Amino acid sequence: MLDAAHRSALLSAAAKLGTRSRFHVAPCVALDILITDAPAEATPAYSDLGMEIRHA
């Protein structure tokens, strides 16, 4: 589904950033936009991967 999408977005709470899960959906580099309530100081690693960061 990600391969067919023009753009892909991830909505994530600040508490979930940087955590791991048993389930792998897609690598971070496959995502275009990260929407989060995390402060700007918590997201530079994601913008370094090429994601557009939107703070909600």
Please report the pLDDT score of residue 56 as a whole number.
92
pLDDT, tens digit, for every residue of 1-44? 888 899 999 999 999 998 988 998 888 899 999 999 999 999 99
Contacts (Cβ under 8 Å, ≥6 apart) of 47: 53
Are β-strands 33-36 and 52-55 bridged in parallel, bridged antiparallel, or unpaired?
A: parallel
How many angstroms separate the CA atoms of 13 and 3, rounded?
25
Please report the pLDDT score of residue 2 as a whole number.
81
pLDDT, tens digit, for every residue of 46-56? 999 999 999 99
Please report the pLDDT score of residue 37 as a whole number.
98
